[in-house]
Structure 1
Amino acid sequence: MTPEDMAALHARCFTTPAPWSARDFAGLATDPLCFLLTEPQGFLLGRAVAGEAELLTLAVLPEARRQGIGARLVAGFLNAARKRQAEMAFLEVSAENTPAIALYQQQGFAQSGCRRGYYAASGGRRIDGLIMSRTVGPAPECSK
């Protein structure tokens, strides 16, 4: 999936937060800490570093939702995080995105914080960003 493909799909899925551009995706694609998981009708971009994994964004075509694509992508994210020795995973989601919140809760995430008024919506309205997290695996031992 090209950065242009990701940007087009992201634009079909998001208004708040604002969709990312092809340039945004191209920049993340060059980051060795980032990883991309794809399905024919969706994708997930994650990053893992220093024992933590962050789900940066998840996008599934609106007409393909509720078919297990998002759940497979999140499960793949958790597996990729384990392989990268992450012990914790986290993400941020709009407090108004109830379908995504339900998906993340089904995958074992729970709210661990809130960024009040984090997202700008139309008409000057502000929307909270929920921080959700979960354990991924055992903590790796540090070298002495």
Structure 2
Amino acid sequence: MSARLEPQIEILPMNEHDLDALMQIETDVYPFPWTRGNFADSLRTGYSCWVCRVAGELVGYAVIMFAVDDAHLLNITVARARHGKGYGARLLAQAITVARRAHARILLLEVRPSNARAIALYRSFGFRQIGVRRGYYPTENGREDALVLTRTLTEVSA
């Protein structure tokens, strides 16, 4: 009988050295990707930026912005070849933890209605739809709406 070793999974703060690998994922996954400048600005501005590494290889990332007492998940992405392996869930759990530690009341995000896999992940973490942003995302043929989802992070006392 042989033991199967699971690869080491790490969630680490993003840094400038991650941008080349990150941009390869971003441009492969999205037809309208963020630019390298978007990520560099997020780091410079002090947004909470994280990468997921598996056996040292960068396989995903997340960017969180804080405003007053809310957190906004601006980008969460996993390399196409790594979809369905739980790395998005690990990054989302990290985003929730970071937002809670920053005393955010809610975590907000936008998602394409056509992204059923992401919507299922968000719902499994307790996110619920609170609105729609019309024409939010660019597409090859125009614009696509965004579903606005939120998850409460603090307990409400009666």
TM-score class, shorter-chain normalisation, is 0.7 to 0.9
Tell me if the contact between 1:58 and 1:70 (Cα under 8 Å) persists in the aligned partners.
yes
Residue among 31, 40, 58 paired with 1:26: 40
Partner of 1:59: 77
Deviation of 1:5 after TM superposition, in Å, equals 2.6
Match of 1:123 among 141, 151, 155: 141
Deviations 1:80-126 (A, max 9, x none): 001101011100111111111111111111111001222221133x2
CA offset digits 1:14-37 (Å, max 9, x no partner): 12xx101111110110112x1112
Q: Give the one of 121, 136, 142 matched to 2:153.
A: 136
CA-based RMSD of the aligned residues comes to 1.4
Cross-structure match for 1:69:
87
Distance in structure 1 (CA, Å) of the matches to 2:112 and 2:127: 14
Uncovered stretches (5+) of structure 1, i.e. residues with no partner: 140-144
Asked if the contact 2:61–2:91 (Cα under 8 Å) also holds between the matched residues in 1, the reply is yes
Aligned length: 135
Identity of aligned residues (%): 32
Matched, 1:110 2:124: no
The normalised TM-score by structure 1 is 0.87
Runs of 4+ in structure 1 deviating by more than 3 angstroms, as ranges, are none
Q: Which has the larger radius of gyration?
A: 2
